[in-house]
Structure 1
């Protein structure tokens, strides 16, 4: 499932921006299909423009029936009547989505015989000081079994002990959900921490869900700003 809003606060209509001859959302859809990992790939959108663009390219799209504040809610509505076990959320602004990363989050559930994991997601180690302090970069800290402890726009952990070699991880916006965890998310109201940070993954933690984080070295390019689009254009060429 690829949630796709037309509006975006930092870069309006970013998913419809041209990336080497096709809109960003089409490139992302094609990348997800190309992995060969999924029974079905859908773009889930509130936009007639995005819906028509995907279907015109021969892709599959679902129109949201109501307004949603986040991608998880949008996907939950779309899969309510579907007979599925695991749903993978690929962000619409990641046209460089790769097979290796998606396979890693799916594998988490194949080896989870006790079914203790509600979600799986990706993190990548970051060392650039500007990125560590950038509030647009969501950071994550984990326990010794790689379960998420917290997500934040602030640098976490705070490096009080200056002689310690602090490791930082960026949260990559790819999730795999058990369907029941996604349905719970839709029913549960937003609490204070999620409201403060504006990070939907926090809602799962606030209600006791277990998120298994998988470290990857694949960084990709998330298109959040016009500058990101320029980087994507160069990388695509």
Structure 2
């Protein structure tokens, strides 16, 4: 709610519903399991409950989304029945529901701690845009999979070959999430302002599924208008 470029962002109207409700609908459509909205804003909780969803209040002082979902899962699932926790950001109203399953899939390998998504960069300007986070990884035997070596706002890696746009959707093993939030922010995390680097610096394994679409993240008024146009078409 405190977003400086788009104040009150979760509650802005898109196609007749608050953005957070649009994201919740796509999470439900993914049919991946129980969906809970974690928030520190009572108006967000009220909007989700009015739509028929489940929401939980969390502290307002969390440093990252991972810290917030850890508090939320501890409240709603204190017996740790859920083995996998998916962190879906509340500003992705055009998310295609199948991407949630795609994000979870790399966790079929028991050696993987965290899974996430990326798409090959096709727009030239994205290659040098620091707001487009790039993932650098080694290809795995499974087609369309990488083992993440680094995440950066810089243009990387150097040389010929594809660059990959990281998509901020994460699937954690419950134990990995518990460990992650116990770690202090790492040097590279603070430098790049990318929390996933904390996991890599601690030796945790992040695998990446390559998909062919990037959901629109709504951060600015221009993004909001684009999202409104896209959802009107749907």
Fold equivalence (TM over 0.5): yes
Counterpart contact for 1:88–1:177, Cα < 8 Å: yes
Unaligned runs of 5+ in 2: 141-145
Cα separation, 1, equivalents of 2:55 and 2:131: 28
1:140 aligns with 135
User: Following TM superposition, by how much is the alpha carbon of 1:218 offset from its aligned partner in structure 2, in angstroms?
Assistant: 1.8
2:35 aligns with 41
Counterpart contact for 1:124–1:172, Cα < 8 Å: yes
2:84 aligns with 86
Cα separation, 2, equivalents of 1:18 and 1:62: 21
Map 1:131-170; keep pairs closer than 5 Å. Answer: 131-145=126-140, 146-159=146-159, 165-170=160-165
User: Following TM superposition, by how much is the alpha carbon of 1:108 offset from its aligned partner in structure 2, in angstroms?
Assistant: 2.0
Matched, 1:67 2:27: no
Cα separation, 2, equivalents of 1:65 and 1:136: 27
Cα separation, 1, equivalents of 2:128 and 2:9: 24
Cα separation, 1, equivalents of 2:127 and 2:172: 27
User: Following TM superposition, by how much is the alpha carbon of 1:66 offset from its aligned partner in structure 2, in angstroms?
Assistant: 5.0
Q: Pick from 11, 16, 34: which aligns with 2:6?
A: 11
The SS at the match of 1:175 is strand
Matched, 1:100 2:98: yes
Unaligned runs of 5+ in 1: 1-5, 160-164
Counterpart contact for 2:115–2:171, Cα < 8 Å: yes
The SS at the match of 1:58 is coil
User: Following TM superposition, by how much is the alpha carbon of 1:49 offset from its aligned partner in structure 2, in angstroms?
Assistant: 1.5
User: Following TM superposition, by how much is the alpha carbon of 1:96 offset from its aligned partner in structure 2, in angstroms?
Assistant: 1.8
2:143 aligns with none
The SS at the match of 2:197 is helix
Aligned-CA RMSD value: 1.3
Cα separation, 2, equivalents of 1:190 and 1:216: 29
Map 1:170-209; keep pairs closer than 5 Å. Answer: 170-209=165-204
User: Following TM superposition, by how much is the alpha carbon of 1:9 offset from its aligned partner in structure 2, in angstroms?
Assistant: 3.4
Counterpart contact for 2:132–2:165, Cα < 8 Å: yes
Q: Pick from 32, 38, 51: which aligns with 1:57?
A: 51
How far does the alpha carbon of each residue in 1:133-184 deviate from its partner, in whole angstroms, 9 at most, with x for none?
A: 222111111013211011111111134xxxxx33111100111000011011
Counterpart contact for 2:136–2:148, Cα < 8 Å: yes
1:218 aligns with 213
1:77 aligns with 71
How many residue pairs are counted as aligned between the two chains?
223
Cα separation, 2, equivalents of 1:90 and 1:59: 15
Cα separation, 1, equivalents of 2:134 and 2:4: 20
Cα separation, 1, equivalents of 2:104 and 2:157: 28
